[in-house]
């Protein structure tokens, strides 16, 4: 245990102020207040210790173009503070404080901007407060703020004296084999069944790292997020803590990274994939300027490494490569480049998923790329009755393909995590193709279904007239399809269904259907 007594001047004590207002929205980016630091005056030290005078200022930004998602809510801690150099680990901290306010009041201990403990201090009372913290940088910055109103409200000034501070690392004693943790965004998180077909590669990683692809999963009770899952089986325990809408800044500011770090033990692996939300300039609670991105990566990497665990950086997945989506993908390329450069400079293991997944997409027929992304026509899924054409998120086929890449690369980095590939056989032609007529919202509609093809990971359904004129072509990932009639379409149509395994296609199967002249469905349709 290390102890610091504050009856004499301490070189890492300072007074912080924010005298100037925030610049606000400048060229589409929100700029917060800038701190000014000054030394603590000598008269602040006395026989009891270092006198603190502090307050919290909370500000909300104006919206940008009326969008409530652009509001930045920032807490500024003003007044006395100290820093203590320390490795980025978990610590048990004990502070001895003395009441100097004329009335008793409640305070919060703030470590590195995080509320970590609340306590009440009476006039002239000397007491110890103890709390645990998970550091995400290599120092302990401690201050105190009075409690007034809401937990995160602006406060008046409060005063107390810090007599001494003691701290010691928290032991991390888990003795089973290393676990894998995932800190990432919506392209990685686990989804509920009703959110189909959206998926994240994190929920499929166990498929390729567990022997015989057999595993069970349940809610990760160490996380308050409903989507958090822990996967167990004959292989590494996998904790998928990925959550949609998060970047390096917000995942840390919301203390999700702190909770993950608190679960780590030496030799665990942490897969870190962000970048999609970090470049959102109009979302100040997420945005990280490109020139600051490496410093944020470093904060994550050091926090994992200082705990004896193993950080692995993963570049963000590519975006939909066709049409207007090219611009989306290009916007993220610089963040992936920073990740690659940082990993090379500091010898941090890297899985370049953006590059490898891009190669996977390039090997697919261009017209079949939809199979990878969250894209479906109307009425195929209850969650997306109007259809969806997402350029960022992925479906089950994409999630499984990307999980295979990550598992393969992770096994190459650390052979203890055996890569269990699935049989890469050619798909078989679909069987038992049927067409059933139904009365739908716009009249006579058709439900196609067939037996799932072994080894297929998606299907293509093409609708033509009897002469072969193509009406529409749909790429789907389940062995069924609900078709709507098109204006001017012939009553006599042919559905052709092919099963695909990436770029390998089967022989087609066809079924001819006669659409009734009226909205009444014929019993012998098909």
- Identify the bridge partners of residue 443 per DSSP, sorted by sequence position: 440
Number of domains present in the structure of the chain? 3
Residue 525, domain member (yes or no): no
Residue 347, domain member (yes or no): yes
Are residues 247 and 288 in contact, defined by beta-carbon separation less than 8 angstroms?
A: yes
Are residues 179 and 239 in contact, defined by beta-carbon separation less than 8 angstroms?
A: yes
Predicted confidence (pLDDT) at residue 221 exceeds the cutoff of 60: yes
The CATH code of the domain that includes 488 is: 2.60.40.10
Domain that holds residue 459: 431-514
Same domain, 404 and 486: no
The CATH code of the domain that includes 111 is: 2.60.120
Q: What is the pLDDT of residue 526?
A: 35
Give the residue carrying structure tokens 């770090």. Answer: 261
Same domain, 350 and 471: no
| CA–CA separation, 245 and 226 (whole Å) | 15
Same domain, 276 and 227: yes
Same domain, 88 and 52: yes
| Domain C-terminal end among 382, 413, 444 | 413
Residue 291, domain member (yes or no): yes
Same domain, 245 and 144: no
pTM greater than 0.85? yes
Residue 425, domain member (yes or no): no
| Domain C-terminal end among 353, 386, 413 | 413
Q: What is the pLDDT of residue 145?
A: 96
Q: What is the pLDDT of residue 265?
A: 94
Same domain, 214 and 307: yes
Predicted confidence (pLDDT) at residue 257 exceeds the cutoff of 80: yes
Q: What is the pLDDT of residue 331?
A: 52
In 483-519, which positions are buried (b, 16+ CB within 10 angstroms) versus exposed (e)?
bbbeeeebeebbbbbbbbbbeebbeebebebbbeeee
Q: Among 39-48, 237-246, 418-427, which stretch is predicted with the lowest mean pLDDT?
A: 418-427
| CA–CA separation, 66 and 64 (whole Å) | 5
Q: What is the pLDDT of residue 323?
A: 60
| CA–CA separation, 283 and 285 (whole Å) | 6
| CA–CA separation, 268 and 419 (whole Å) | 17
Residue 309, domain member (yes or no): yes
Q: What angle do CA 159, 165, 170 make, to 5 degrees?
A: 130
Distance of CA 413 to the CA centre of its chain: 23
Same domain, 93 and 198: no
| Domain C-terminal end among 169, 192, 219 | 169
Concatenated DSSP letters for 257-298?
Answer: HHHHHHH--TT-EEEEE--TTTT-TT-TTT---GGGHHHHHH
Same domain, 334 and 189: yes
Residue 229, domain member (yes or no): yes
Banded model confidence at residue 521, pLDDT cuts 50, 70, 90: very low
Concatenated DSSP letters for 164-205?
Answer: EEEEEEPP----SSPPEEEEE-TTTS---GGGTTEE-GGGTH
Query: Which 3 state secondary structure label does DSSP give 117?
Result: strand
Residue 348, domain member (yes or no): yes
| CA–CA separation, 97 and 410 (whole Å) | 48
Q: What is the pLDDT of residue 486?
A: 85
Alpha-carbon dihedral of residues 199, 202, 208, 214, nearest 10 degrees? Answer: -80
Q: What is the pLDDT of residue 518?
A: 52
Banded model confidence at residue 321, pLDDT cuts 50, 70, 90: confident
Residue 192 CB burial class (10 angstroms; 0-12, 13-18, ≥19): exposed
| CA–CA separation, 163 and 144 (whole Å) | 13
Two tokens, residue 217? 């999963």
Same domain, 285 and 322: yes
Cis peptide before 304 (omega within 30 of 0): no
Predicted confidence (pLDDT) at residue 325 exceeds the cutoff of 50: no
Residue 110, domain member (yes or no): yes
Spatial neighbors of 27 by CB under 8 A, at least 6 apart, are none
Predicted confidence (pLDDT) at residue 329 exceeds the cutoff of 80: no
Residue ranges with strand state E in 306-420: 310-314, 350-351, 373-376, 388-395
Same domain, 267 and 158: no
What is the arithmetic mean of pLDDT over 244-254? 96
Same domain, 49 and 122: yes
Q: Among 90-99, 236-245, 296-305, 320-329, which stretch is predicted with the lowest mean pLDDT?
A: 320-329
Distance of CA 135 to the CA centre of its chain: 20
The CATH code of the domain that includes 388 is: 3.40.50.1110
Are residues 273 and 185 in contact, defined by beta-carbon separation less than 8 angstroms?
A: yes
Same domain, 208 and 317: yes
Predicted confidence (pLDDT) at residue 55 exceeds the cutoff of 60: yes
Predicted confidence (pLDDT) at residue 522 exceeds the cutoff of 80: no
Closest by Cα among 194, 265, 273, 278 to 236: 265
């Amino acid at each position: 245990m290390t102890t610091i007594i504050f009856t004499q001047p301490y070189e890492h004590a300072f007074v912080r102020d924010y005298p100037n207002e925030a610049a606000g929205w400048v060229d589409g980016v929100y700029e917060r207040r800038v701190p000014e630091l000054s030394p603590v005056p000598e008269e602040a030290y006395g026989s009891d210790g270092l006198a603190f005078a502090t307050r919290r200022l909370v500000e909300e930004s104006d919206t940008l173009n009326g969008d409530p998602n652009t509001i930045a809510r920032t807490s500024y801690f003003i007044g006395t503070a100290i820093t203590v150099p320390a490795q980025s680990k978990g610590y048990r901290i004990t502070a001895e404080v003395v009441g100097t306010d004329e009335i008793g009041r409640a305070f919060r201990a703030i470590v590195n901007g995080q509320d970590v403990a609340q306590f009440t201090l009476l006039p002239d009372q000397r007491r110890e407060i103890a709390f645990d913290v998970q550091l995400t940088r290599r120092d302990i910055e401690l201050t105190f703020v009075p409690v007034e109103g809401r937990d995160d409200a602006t406060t008046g000034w409060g005063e107390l004296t810090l007599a001494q501070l003691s701290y010691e690392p928290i032991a991390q004693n888990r003795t089973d084999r290393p676990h894998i943790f995932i800190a990432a965004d919506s392209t990685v998180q686990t989804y509920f069944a009703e959110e189909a077909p959206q998926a994240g590669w994190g929920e499929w990683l166990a498929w390729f790292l567990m022997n015989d692809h057999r595993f069970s999963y349940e809610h990760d009770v160490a996380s308050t997020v409903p989507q958090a899952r822990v996967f167990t089986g004959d292989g590494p325990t996998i904790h998928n803590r990925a959550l949609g809408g998060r970047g390096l800044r917000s995942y840390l500011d919301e203390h999700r990274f702190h909770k993950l770090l608190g679960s780590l033990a030496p030799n665990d692996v942490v897969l870190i994939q962000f970048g999609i939300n970090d470049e959102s300039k109009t979302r100040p609670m997420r945005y990280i300027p490109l020139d600051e991105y490496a410093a944020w990566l470093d904060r994550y990497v050091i926090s994992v490494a200082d705990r004896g665990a193993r950080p692995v950086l993963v570049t963000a997945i590519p975006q939909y490569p066709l049409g207007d989506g090219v611009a989306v993908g290009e916007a993220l390329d610089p963040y992936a480049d920073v990740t690659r450069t940082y990993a090379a400079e500091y010898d941090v293991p890297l899985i370049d998923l953006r590059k490898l997944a891009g190669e996977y997409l390039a090997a697919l027929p261009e017209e079949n790329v939809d199979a990878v992304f969250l894209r479906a026509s109307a009425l195929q899924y209850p969650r997306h009755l109007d259809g969806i054409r997402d350029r960022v998120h992925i479906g089950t086929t994409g999630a499984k393909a990307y999980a295979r890449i990550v598992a393969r690369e992770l096994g190459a980095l650390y052979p203890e995590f055996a890569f269990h590939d699935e049989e890469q056989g050619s798909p078989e032609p679909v069987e038992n193709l049927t067409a059933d007529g139904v009365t739908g919202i716009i009249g006579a509609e058709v439900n196609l279904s067939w037996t799932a093809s072994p080894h297929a990971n998606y299907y293509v359904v093409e609708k033509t007239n009897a002469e072969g004129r193509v009406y529409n072509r749909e790429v789907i990932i389940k062995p069924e399809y609900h078709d709507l009639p098109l204006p001017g379409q012939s009553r006599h149509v042919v559905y052709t269904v092919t099963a695909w395994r990436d770029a390998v296609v089967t022989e087609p199967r066809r079924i001819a259907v006669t659409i009734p002249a009226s909205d009444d469905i014929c019993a012998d349709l098909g």
